[in-house]
A = this chain, B = another copy of it.
Amino acid sequence: MSLESPPEILDVRTVATSRLFEIEAVDLRFSNGVEVGFERLKGSAAGAVLVVPITTEQDVVLIREYACGTERYELGLPKGRVEPGEALMVAANRELMEEAGFGAEQFDYLAELTSAPTYSGQRTHVVIATGLYPARLSGDEPEPLEVLRWPLADIDQLALAGHCTEARSIAALYMARAHLAAKASG
């Protein structure tokens, strides 16, 4: 049974690197004896943080920034890499201040998301931020980001109409809404 017998990792080696990325080849032997070679994108050690900032009016704060991967402006939640040695909530507050111009009085850990885990080790920690107050940190953004608010009650429209396409942002918004609804009713 696969769940009780994960494959044995026979070999891991770096096959390509660039300034930002590292690609590994991994040789596996499954419990049925089948041997397979995979490739994976190595995730950063501390992972990424994605912030769901919620105002007292139950709006979520979104940013719109140019995305080099898709060559267009994309709407999504503030997020970024957790720096080595940086506490998660410090990273969350930093990204929130750099990208959206807010600090938060409270951060609550919600969940860990993976992205294409068959070939990527990237992990993203999702954090809910409340008690927002204006605070700006200057980050590495090449131009000011557009910041806007969207009613948390209306994220179906945000996602289904294609205003936001980023999988982690959509997943985090729905999960945050469900978490807050359960908390309010419980």
Q: How large is the interface on A (under 10, 10 to 19, 20 to 34, 35 or more residues)?
A: 35 or more
A56 within 8 A of B: no
CB contact list, A141-186 vs B, under 8 A: 142-146, 156, 159-160, 162, 165-168, 170-171, 174-175, 178-179, 182
Given the interface pairs A2-B143, A69-B114, the reply to whether A15 lies near B15 with Cβ below 8 Å is no
A25 within 8 A of B: yes
Question: Is A2 a contact of B160 with CB atoms below 8 Å?
Answer: no
Question: Is B36 a contact of A142 with CB atoms below 8 Å?
Answer: yes
Question: Is B39 a contact of A160 with CB atoms below 8 Å?
Answer: no
A101 within 8 A of B: no
**Interface class of chain A by DSSP:** mixed
Contact sample, A vs B, 11 pairs, CB 8 Å cutoff: A2-B73, A7-B142, A9-B71, A28-B68, A40-B69, A69-B116, A69-B118, A69-B122, A70-B114, A74-B114, A167-B171
- Complex A-B, nearest 5 residue pairs according to Cβ-Cβ distance, in ascending order: A67-B117, A170-B171, A174-B174, A167-B167, A156-B178
Given contacts A16-B16, A156-B182, A170-B175, 19 further A-B contacts (CB under 8 A): A2-B66, A7-B66, A16-B21, A18-B23, A20-B119, A21-B41, A31-B143, A65-B118, A67-B114, A69-B118, A69-B120, A113-B165, A113-B166, A115-B167, A116-B166, A156-B175, A159-B178, A168-B171, A171-B174
